Structure 1
Amino acid sequence: MKTLLEFFTLFKLLFLLVFFVSNITSAQETLDLEKRVEMLEKKLEEHTDKKNGLHILNNLRFAGLVQMDANIYDGAFNASAEGRTGSDVFVRRVHIRMFHKLSNYWDYVLLLLAGDDTTRFLVGFGRYQPDNKTEFRLGKIKEDRSFSVQYIGEELTGERPMVVNAFATAFQWGAQAHRLFDPGFRISAGVFKDRKFGSERDGQDENNALLLGYNTRLTWSHINDDMLLHLGGSYGLREISGDRFIISTPADVFVARPNLDISPELESADKADIYMTEVVAQKGALRFESEYGFMNVDSLSATQEDLSLSGYYLGLHYFLDGKTQQSYNRKYAKFGRPTNENNVWEVYTRLSVLDLVDNNEGTKAEVAMIGATYFLNPHIHFQLQFYDAEVSGPGVNLAPFAQPDGSILSDGRAITARFSYRF
């Protein structure tokens, strides 16, 4: 019995000794672990401080475009010089874009736009994208008013069609939002400071109050294998608030003068209602694009009636390899770049019509174009187009179309070439 008691006593002493030693070891390990964690935290802070600048750079992205154009034109395209052959070589566009991603939802874009003579403007906007179907923009942004106006410079075939230049606007200060819905619907809306239709082009009326423009665009698209169908329409309201109103726009040739399309002039206009419809289809390498626009301008003058103006274009494109397509961006309801840009040819034709005749004033221009684009690689491509234009309406009986010898310059031809470099 005594032996058994001694055994249990020895066991208890041994257990207490092991427990005491293990606690000392555990406490020491805990202290060591805490020190290690503290050292790692300090190193992480130092590493973060050193990497902060690099982190910002990693969230910056730059892109650019340089375009050189050559134009040769005669007849109505150069009516101000009695229809003689005119020509020019110039820098059409220099675009420098910077994208900075602030978070998974926020980013901003800065864009420098320059031409041959001077820097035209610096635009910028912030974007909030809570998900991949919704976007809000605030700043100097491109209005979502038409299919063709959504093309950026590197995606354009020649110049934008006349009806788009006349009725749809480009960059304006404002706010805009869009949302995608299944199956294939997209709606956008925005409000802008309008600098296009008031006579002073300063975005203010005679009382220095803001002239605002409102727009909404609804589109639907369906994609099935290599087939795409896109339908859309938009409405824009433009405040004019008593300012003088006139539209004058070039006819597809950038430097040609005078502008072939000139609307009647209203001494005082209240507002303009603008409607655009768009039909686009693509099957394999073949693509069809079209838009129709109508504008009604309310006159405030007792001696002048309201104006009704309209225009449209029809375009047909084909990639000669029979495989390349124009990529479609569902988020922005527009075409982007071709699916193949290495050693591929695209040929196309377009009819562009803008009728600015009303109240027995103004002109109507019809311009037919054929052309080709060669994509050497994703960075370099070349364009060549031929234009044939005809001008009609009461306005052709006035200068500069009416010549001193009594003749009328009502038609013209032009050849344009473009070199584009993207980086």
Structure 2
Amino acid sequence: MIELPVSTLYGPANLPYGVFSAPGDPHRRIGVAIGDQVLDVAPLADSHGAAELVPLLAGPVLNPLLGAGRRAWTELRERLVEWVHGPADVLRPHLLAAADVQLHLPVEVGDYVDFYSSEHHARNVGQIFRPGSEPLSPNWKHLPIGYHGRTGTIVVSGTDIVRPCGQRRGEDGPEFGPSARLDIEAEVGFVVGTGTRMGEAVAVGDVAEHVFGLFLLNDWSARDIQAWESTPLGPFLGKSFATSVSPWVVPLDALEAARVAPPPRDPPLLPYLRDVDDRGLNLELEVALNGHVVSRPPFATMYWTAAQQLAHLTVNGASLRPGDVFASGTVSGPEKEQRGSLLELSWGGTDPIPLLDDATRTFLEDGDEVTITATAPGTGGIRIGLGEVRGRILPARP
């Protein structure tokens, strides 16, 4: 077996999938993160007599593998574990230093849905915008609320984000200009593998047959644009300008040790949303602004699970396609230091967030860089990494 750094978050218990290109070669290939290296999977599979897997690993995106279904996912993961534990000299010709490769958007996203599934986040936002009123809408505990996003502006980690322009509320009517309340939302995105036909619904207990894995997601949000446009409908231009995702897709099979019971539900749920097993996930997120950690949101507190989100997304017969993405919504915990957006951390801009060197922020300024990382329990008592999603704010374009 190859030697791995002692502190690695990318050991054999993880093996996340991504898309990379090597120096001097623009061809995009499927890779697996192992330690501080990237494993070029297709030629390795071909050299080990797994020719049937090679077409699924040819690139330039993960969609063929996603669409192959759970049996293929399981077979490939079993082979990868075997190969990684095998002789180092056999594996070494197919390894590249992670620092030397370029990582790309791992999937061609068909549809994108973003949910609103943290009760702590929903209550915080309700209190900020509707002080003195009930923070949760009457339907919030009965169904996972969500909206359909824009796939064309989903970008891989490291892509710069141009400050969006749009309409916002002014003292004498609407104004136009760059957003002055640019924000982040720390989220987890779930990547669909096996699709469905129109008219079919996915049961809560069948999530593992349709979800391949997950990655980190930053739902960049222009709060001033969003506030002006969101009456009576939901997010539109305040969200659609950019969504960043991490380059590594961690398979669900790597997260069995991270499964936990979700929070208690009250009132009782309708039958199609009732839990059949523990589908919460004990993920620990971390949000850094210009290198300073400002929040550590706990994913285990999320009220609605991915299984319930998928069941609700499809209960009306909406179809799924390989590469579809649905996101958790902002991850926030009960404590101030666990809030997953600047809107909450600064309490609507009234409580500046302390950074390094006596700097503070309420919302993002040009040049700011946000990095979201996460880890989870893995098999054998170790922790595994979900990578990072990073983006830097550029000034609005003239």
Greater fraction of residues in helix: 2
Greater fraction of residues in strand: 1
If you compute each CA radius of gyration, which structure gives the higher value, 1 or 2?
1
- TM-score, structure 1 length as denominator? 0.27
- TM-score, structure 2 length as denominator? 0.28
